[in-house]
Structure 1
């Protein structure tokens, strides 16, 4: 089977440098254009299912991609971004100015701590990789697209490459690009990372 990983299109919150894991917002005009380009590319590719985080920015991106093929988007909360708790919907500059100590502590102890009122990293990592494993098990010999967020895509690439959670910061997924992996009974081959369309 082949798995394509796609990050949602740009949002205004991206431009403002927001912490907005579970805050539900839509893609902006540029994000729609990115999704349209992805739709054109995936219109030339054979795929059987398309999954998406149930948050609007990912679900909307997936709906645009699948529009011409008339494939229903399977929305799944497993593929949501990390929940930032009390820091949801706050600008990075605000967090640095008002919660600098807590932020520094999290950056040093990110694997064993959580944002105030937020989701612990290992809970997030387990949630995302459990979702990915389920999709793989349910779709052997099929091709699927998963539209998600930067954090979950890093977690999925950690799993697919075998580096595990320690490799989380090695990956960054660009908007308007895709990554892909070929998965067989014997091995997982990473074909592309951040491939533009």
Structure 2
């Protein structure tokens, strides 16, 4: 099977450097433009199903991509971003100013700790990879799109390559781009990472 992994389009929260894992904001005009460019590209690609996070920014991106082919978007909360707890809807500058000690601890111990009131990293990683494994089992031999967030896409790529949780920071997913992965029982092959569309 071939997996296409796509990060949602740009949001105003991206521009403000917000912590906004489960905050249900939408994409902005630039995000809509990015989604339309992806739609134009994927209109030339054969795919069988499209999945997304159930959060609006990912679902809206997926809906635009699938619009011309009229393929329904299958929303799955396994593909949500990490939940930032008490830091949801807070700007990075505010966190640095008011919670520097907790932030430094989390930066050093990100794998074994969680933000105040937030989701533990390993719980997040397991949630995402359980969702991914389910999609793979259901769709052997098919071409599948998953529209999600930067964190879950890093977790998926770590899982698919065997890097595991320790490899999480190796990957960063750009908005307006896609990554593609070939998956079989024998091996996994990363074809492209952050491939732009024209």
Indicate the TM-score class for this superposition, using the shorter chain for normalisation: over 0.9
Q: Could you say which residue in structure 1 is the equivalent of 2:7?
A: 7
Taking the aligned partners of 1:121 and 1:47, their CA distance within structure 2 comes to: 31
Q: Could you say which residue in structure 2 is the equivalent of 1:187?
A: 187
TM-score (norm 2): 0.99
Q: Could you say which residue in structure 1 is the equivalent of 2:89?
A: 89
Q: Is 1:23 the counterpart of 2:23 in the alignment?
A: yes
Query: Which whole-Å deviations, capped at 9, do the CAs of 1:44-69 have from their partners, x for residues lacking one?
Result: 00000000000000000000000000
Taking the aligned partners of 2:129 and 2:154, their CA distance within structure 1 comes to: 10
**What SS class does the counterpart of residue 182 from structure 2 fall into?**
strand
Residue 162 of structure 1 and its aligned partner are, at CA, apart by 1.0
Taking the aligned partners of 2:195 and 2:157, their CA distance within structure 1 comes to: 14
Q: Could you say which residue in structure 2 is the equivalent of 1:135?
A: 135
**What SS class does the counterpart of residue 174 from structure 1 fall into?**
coil
Aligned residues: 197
CA RMSD of aligned residues (A): 0.4
Residue 105 of structure 1 and its aligned partner are, at CA, apart by 0.1
Taking the aligned partners of 1:171 and 1:189, their CA distance within structure 2 comes to: 15
Q: How does 1:74-113 map to 2 (within 5 A)?
A: 74-113=74-113
Taking the aligned partners of 1:79 and 1:19, their CA distance within structure 2 comes to: 17
Residue 184 of structure 1 and its aligned partner are, at CA, apart by 1.1
Taking the aligned partners of 1:190 and 1:143, their CA distance within structure 2 comes to: 14
Runs of 4+ in 1 over 3 A off after TM superposition: none
**What SS class does the counterpart of residue 153 from structure 1 fall into?**
helix
Gaps of 5+ in 2: none
Residue 117 of structure 1 and its aligned partner are, at CA, apart by 0.2
Residue 185 of structure 1 and its aligned partner are, at CA, apart by 1.5
Taking the aligned partners of 2:185 and 2:83, their CA distance within structure 1 comes to: 33
Taking the aligned partners of 1:100 and 1:47, their CA distance within structure 2 comes to: 45
Q: Could you say which residue in structure 2 is the equivalent of 1:48?
A: 48
Taking the aligned partners of 1:46 and 1:185, their CA distance within structure 2 comes to: 22
